[in-house]
Structure 1
Amino acid sequence: MILQNGDCLSEMKKIKSESIDLILTDPPYNLGLFMSKRQTNLKKMRDNFFGSAGWDDLDTEEWTEMMEHFFEESKRVLKIGGTLLIFMSVIKVETIIKIAAKYGFYYKTTGIWHKTNPMPRNMNLHFVNSNECWIYFIKDKKTGVFNNVGLELDYIESSVTPKAEKRHGAHPTQKPVFIMKHFIELLTNEGGTVLDPFMGSGTTAVASVLTHRKFIGIELSEEYYEVSKKRVEEVYEKTLFGS
């Protein structure tokens, strides 16, 4: 288990080439500036609304350049046949697929995380947003590890992140452990190595511990890095002592 506090692009350069089985990550969606200019009640409802958090406010050119470098380094560190699964806004899917193709990633599919209890917002103005996309790629091959045990659909359902998983601190786009655990078990074998370069509050790290995978996580924010460490320490303690 390796947790790093720093810029993901710099820290990824330190990772050994072709050493990672799965990159599972949830990067900035480049929606901060876009959402901050739209009529919304999210800011009133959530003190840590991502549109005003400061980490998702790059302009489009800067964000695209960052993602170019991310895929370039992802190509280097992933094993041949390794998997990259990235959460992303639906309005950015085409952009991400084009960037990924430049670096030898084979596009498999786009799926949906459906939130069974989404946060209401502007209910009298438009639809409640209950979905987020994920995009699934394989490096330099057309198939990779896929531990299917039944009919695996291109969507997954769960509630939003429960309060119990936010007791050490809440990230505005935090995913439930259930979601990350599902993809880790499906797309890697036990003992494999998972990388999350945009670690946030450490959900992928926790899921990796619970599924007996090795993990490397990188987080730019010192605040969320500290949250990640506390969460990982807690899950190790529970695993060892059964509390």
Structure 2
Amino acid sequence: MKKTYRLIKGDCLLSMKSMPDNSVDLILTDPPYNIGKFMQNRQANLNRMRQNFFVGAGWDNGEYTEWIKNMSLFFKEAHRILKKKGTLLTFMSALKVESIVDVANAAGFYYKTTGIWHKTNPMPRNMNLHFVNSNESWIYFINDGKTGIFNNDDKLELDFIQTGVTSSSEKKYGKHPTQKPVALMQHFVKLLSNEGDVVLDPFMGSGSTGVASVGMDREFIGIELSEKYFDIATERIKNTNSVQQKLDI
């Protein structure tokens, strides 16, 4: 079975405006956390320790008020293009969970839960000085409803998932500083969508959501502003088994 995907290089707030109402089943994404300046102030030497650290990239260093404005616009468009009872799951820093829940509720989303992704092999930065950061939060919403697709096969699913960090084999086309492992995205694609559903990642990055989606017989739409990461995502997704593609550049 051939899978279809569409990749768009551009600003997601502009690109989403051209998408039809009620046309997406699942939004699975990893937007900027707006913690760049916070991290710079706390750990001035971190960028030197890790060349690919996201603070050095600059795209997460904006002002809080501008970030909230943009996230509000994002959730407004997400509410329009998601189907009724469609799902939105976003990764987020624990520092900003309450802010995201507030803007999502204002846009018409029902908050389900906040969960944890636990990294089994995190970078042991400053391990002799403080606790090593091994967790990231994710937030689960339903659009215009309280329940949506949940393919748990009648098995207990905890609000906790653990995997290793992204392996080097998943970075052969290039690196992204906050790249998520495909296994993590597969977990949510399987639970929160069905075969043939449309999965959207408006902050596509290096394309892990797309690799998971097309590999599990979903239709995928990915939007990415950075030309560098767009190119990495394109290579990764087009080499995921057999796919049909449409690129909007």
Same fold (TM over 0.5): yes
Aligned 8 A contact 1:41 1:121 in 2: no
> Counterparts of 2:139 and 2:237 in 1: how far apart (Å)?
26
Matched, 1:47 2:51: yes
How many Å separate the matches in 1 of 2:84 and 2:32? 26
Counterpart of 1:143 in structure 2 is 147
Q: 1:10 aligns with which of 1, 14, 36?
A: 14
What residue is the counterpart of 1:97 in the other structure?
A: 101
Q: What residue in structure 2 maps to residue 106 of structure 1?
A: 110
What are the superposed Cα offsets for residues 37-94 of structure 1, whole Å, 9 maximum, x if unpaired? 1125532332121112011111000100010000000000000000000000001000
5+ residue gaps, structure 2, are 244-249
Output the TM-score relative to the length of structure 2.
0.93
Task: Give the Cα separation in 1 of the matches to 2:196 and 2:242.
Answer: 20
- Give the Cα separation in 1 of the matches to 2:48 and 2:123: 12
Report the 3-state secondary structure (helix = DSSP H, G, I; strand = E; otherwise coil) of the residue aligned with 1:94: helix
Amino acid in structure 2 at the alignment position of 1:35: M
Q: How does 1:67-146 map to 2 (within 5 A)?
A: 67-146=71-150
- The aligned residue for residue 234 of structure 1 is 239
Matched with 1:221 is 226
Q: 1:19 aligns with which of 16, 19, 23?
A: 23
Q: Per-residue CA shift, 1:181-207, capped at 9, x if unaligned?
A: 110010001100000000000000100
Counterpart of 2:232, as a letter, is V
Residue correspondences, number: 239
Equivalent-residue separation in structure 2 for 1:69 and 1:53 (angstroms): 23
8 Å CA contact 1:40–1:121 kept in 2: the answer is: no
Alignment-derived partner of residue 175 in structure 2: 170
Q: Which has the higher contact order (CA 8 A, sep 6+)?
A: 2
**Aligned equivalents of 1:96, 1:125: Cα separation in 2:** 31
Which residue of 216, 232, 238 maps to 1:211?
216
- Structure 2 equivalent of residue 30 of structure 1: 34
Question: Where does the alignment leave 5 or more consecutive residues of structure 1 unmatched?
Answer: 239-243
Partner of 2:185: 180
Q: Which residue of 1 aligns with 2:247?
A: none
Q: Which residue does 1:158 correspond to in 2?
A: 163
- 2:240 is paired with a residue whose SS is helix
